[in-house]
Amino acid sequence: MKKTKVILLLLLFPILLFAQEQILTGKVTDKSGEGIPGVNVVLKGTATGAVTDIDGIYRLPVQSTRGVVLSFSFIGFTSREIEVGSNNTINVTLSSDIIGLEEVIAVGYSSQKKASITGSVASIRNEDLIKTKTENVVNMLTGKLPGVRVVQKSSAPGAYDATIDIRGMGSPLFVIDGVTRDQAYFARMDPYEIESISVLKDGSAAIYGLRAANGVILVTTKSGSSQADGVKFTYTGNYSIQQALYVPGGVNAVDHMALRNENTFQNFSTNYLVRQNPVFTQEDMQPYLDGKPSYNWMDAAFEKNTPEQQHNFSLNGGGNKLRYFMSLGYAHQEEITRVEVITPNAGTSVQR
């Protein structure tokens, strides 16, 4: 009898588990009431989910509806999250997500909506451009536009030696507010005055003719707009500290002398049968072995912290007939190298 009861319990156990499982169902539609196929319906915080069929209907098994939140997502529509509660039928209406498709992009001598462009065009707005703090606008584009490559060829102080190309071609054509400029002019622009930057590639740049064979970078600066409250004043400031990366470390005086002697000892370029005399003798090394301090030339040549600051003040206003925008910018970056100034009278050097 006991064995029979145990067997019956084992047989009823899966049935009891199955009885606890519930089915969530519903229909996902757009604003017109049409079902949306392919919508992802996921239990928030888990990997359990389902996909709507051709009529927008989904079925999702769950163990319990207590505290369950369903997440609905689909490309081109705004995602929604709905708490299930005690209702097993959840119908959802998704709104179209048109953000980005209505964005206006400069494409030559006119502008078009992003959704209507068939050529290869990449663009960036001012708020995304100024996230990178640097004195060179070219360096601000690094990694932000597909197909655009920026290379810093020199790290010399004050050198604006960054090159930019599109898809590995040569230097592109720069057009700023309809006027062709060179890269040097673009690099020195105040980033806070730039409204947007569009990159025309391939056939999209053909409107500018032969000079656009390497692509075109279109720059649109800010313009005045009507202000209901009169003139709008804007101030933007940034202060940062820069540090040099991967600065090679130096050696002390004794190690330097030993390495120079070893280099001379191993040099057979003059006569491989005759070893050269050492550059430094034991007498030269002895003062440093007795405690004479060595000089750190890396610290003497480079600053550890270099301050940089950028400031911009602008005013914007106007009405239906007249609009104006004025901007004043200031940028300053301290040098990273220390400069030695020799005073002719005393004959001593002073660090500046």
Overall average pLDDT of the 220-226 stretch: 81
Least confident among 4-13, 116-125, 246-255? 4-13
Top mean-pLDDT range of 18-32, 68-82, 103-117, 197-211? 68-82
| DSSP tally for the chain: helices H, then strands E | 7, 21
Please tell me the distance from the alpha carbon of residue 334 to that of residue 322, in angstroms, as a whole number.
41
d(CA 75, CA 94): 11
Q: What is the pTM for the complete model shown?
A: 0.51
Centroid of chain to Cα 147: 14
pLDDT reported for residue 225:
76
Which residues pair with residue 58 across a beta bridge?
A: 26
- What DSSP designation does 89 have? B
Question: Which residues are within 8 A (CB) of 309 and not within 5 positions of it... i.e. 6 or more apart?
Answer: 237, 238, 239, 240, 330, 331, 332, 333
CA gap 204, 94 in Å, rounded: 35
Residue 217 near residue 287, CB atoms below 8 Å = no
Give yes or no for residue 350 having a pLDDT over 60: no
Helices (H), 150-237: 183-187
Q: 224-272 pLDDT, tens per residue?
A: 776 666 788 889 888 888 887 777 777 888 999 999 888 888 776 655 5
Counting beta carbons within 10 angstroms of the beta carbon of residue 215, is it exposed (0 to 12), middle (13 to 18) or buried (19 or more)? buried
Which letter, b or e, does each residue of 306-319 get, where b requires 16 or more Cβ atoms within 10 Å of its Cβ? Answer: bebebbbebebbbe
Report the pLDDT value the prediction gives residue 28, as an integer from 0 to 100: 92
* Residue at 178: amino acid letter: G
Task: Select the more confidently predicted residue: 105 or 330.
Answer: 330
CA separation for the pair 103, 112 (Å, rounded): 8
* DSSP bridge partners of 39: none
Tokens of 73: 């997502």
Place 60 in a pLDDT band, splitting at 50, 70 and 90. Answer: confident
Per-residue H/E/C for 284-333 = HHHHHHCCCCCCCHHHHHECCCEEEEEEEEEEEEECCCCEEEEEEEEEEE
Domains of the chain with CATH codes: 2-93 (2.60.40.4130), 104-221 (2.170.130.10), 253-295 (no CATH)
CA distance to 86, 150, 175, per residue, from 182 (Å): 66, 16, 9
In Å, how far are 32, 116, 208 from 96, measured between CA atoms? Answer: 11, 17, 36
